[in-house]
């Protein structure tokens, strides 16, 4: 296995730059006594659920551990969750690496041995978002703005349109066919919130319409689920959430049982 010895901060910076600072990479394993850190990033794959990926892997072994701030209660190594990246840091006692993510930690050493790269093959773990969806449906036109309000009212929700930080806008004032950029919100939440359910994208193209919605208000969880149920009832709809794809019936089943797809094809077809 190829071996690289890092003795200076510029050498470390050069190596990290050659590997794109491990942006959206992984910390795969941390071993102690002696300390070693196995890291990697995807070099082949589409990120779609249950499809194959190739991860390029390196093993880092510090010669002397001058500082090590890792807290195992704050972070667990895994190929399921990405980190933001790895930065190089200067230190009066050596040079260091910062592993940037929700529970960041750092290492300072005087010399670093890097083994690799090797390639491991596995599959992308399926995951679905609880706040955004992208969908494509075979419908002739973008729904009128009042369509969403009427469908949600049938489900017991009284929502209105607004702009960010703005007051309620009458549905007659909402532009058509492109009313992306507006929010759906309850009247009693307008004063205490800046947004709501964001309409990120609406577009008609060759007999189909694409939609992208994002829930930016946790207080609208029920309204959000019912909005996605409305989308699920469109003709021949495919709903993208996280790295998964669902048919309309498949999405409704997922809302009931929480079970993610076990193949890269639309769930429920």
Measured CA to CA, the distance from residue 87 to residue 72 in angstroms comes to 20
As a whole number, the mean pLDDT across the chain is 94
41-87 pLDDT, tens digit per residue, is: 999 998 899 999 999 999 999 999 999 999 999 999 999 889 999 99
Domains held by the chain: number: 2
Q: Is position 209 within any domain?
A: yes
Which structure tokens are listed for 196?
A: 């709501």
Q: Is position 263 within any domain?
A: no
Which of 106, 102, 83, 105 shows the shortest CA–CA distance to 93?
106
Q: Is position 79 within any domain?
A: yes
Q: Among 103, 123, 143, identify where a domain stops.
A: 123
Based on the domain organization, do 109 and 170 belong to the same domain? no
Based on the domain organization, do 160 and 108 belong to the same domain? no
pTM of the model: 0.78
179-226 pLDDT, tens digit per residue, is: 999 999 999 999 999 999 999 999 998 889 999 999 999 999 999 999
Based on the domain organization, do 136 and 199 belong to the same domain? yes
Q: Is position 262 within any domain?
A: no
Based on the domain organization, do 18 and 58 belong to the same domain? yes
DSSP 168-190: EE-GGGS-SS--TT-EEEEGGGT
Based on the domain organization, do 89 and 202 belong to the same domain? no
264 band by pLDDT with thresholds 50, 70 and 90: low
Strands 52-62 and 112-123: antiparallel
Measured CA to CA, the distance from residue 227 to residue 237 in angstroms comes to 14
142: left (phi over 0), alpha (psi -120 to 50) or beta: beta
Based on the domain organization, do 116 and 144 belong to the same domain? no
Based on the domain organization, do 114 and 156 belong to the same domain? no
269 band by pLDDT with thresholds 50, 70 and 90: very low
Based on the domain organization, do 30 and 146 belong to the same domain? no
Based on the domain organization, do 68 and 46 belong to the same domain? yes
State the residue range of the domain holding 250: 132-257
CB 57 within 8 A of CB 40: yes
């Amino acid at each position: 296995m190829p071996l690289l010895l890092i003795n200076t901060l510029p050498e470390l910076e050069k190596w990290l730059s050659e590997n794109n600072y491990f942006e959206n990479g992984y910390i795969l394993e941390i071993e102690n006594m002696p300390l070693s850190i196995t890291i990697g990033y995807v070099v082949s794959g589409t990120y779609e659920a249950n499809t194959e990926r190739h991860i390029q892997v390196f093993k880092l072994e510090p010669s002397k551990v001058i500082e090590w701030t890792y807290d195992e209660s704050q972070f667990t190594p895994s190929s399921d969750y990405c980190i933001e990246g790895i930065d190089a840091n200067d230190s009066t006692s050596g040079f260091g690496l910062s592993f940037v993510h929700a529970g960041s930690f750092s290492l300072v050493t005087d010399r670093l041995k890097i083994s690799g790269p090797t390639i491991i093959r596995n599959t992308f773990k399926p995951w679905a978002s609880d706040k955004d969806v992208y969908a494509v449906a075979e419908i002739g036109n973008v729904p009128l703005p009042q369509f969403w309000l009427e469908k949600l009212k049938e489900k017991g929700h009284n929502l209105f349109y607004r702009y960010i930080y703005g007051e309620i806008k009458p549905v007659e004032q909402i532009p058509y066919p492109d009313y992306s950029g507006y929010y759906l919100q309850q009247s009693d939440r307008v004063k205490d919130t800046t947004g709501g359910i964001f309409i990120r994208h609406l577009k008609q193209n060759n007999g189909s319409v694409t939609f992208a919605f994002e829930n930016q208000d946790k207080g609208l969880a029920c309204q959000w689920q019912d909005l996605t149920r409305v989308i699920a009832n469109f003709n021949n709809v495919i709903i993208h959430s996280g790295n998964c794809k669902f048919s309309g019936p498949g999405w409704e089943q997922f809302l009931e049982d929480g079970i993610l797809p076990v193949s890269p094809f639309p769930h429920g077809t």
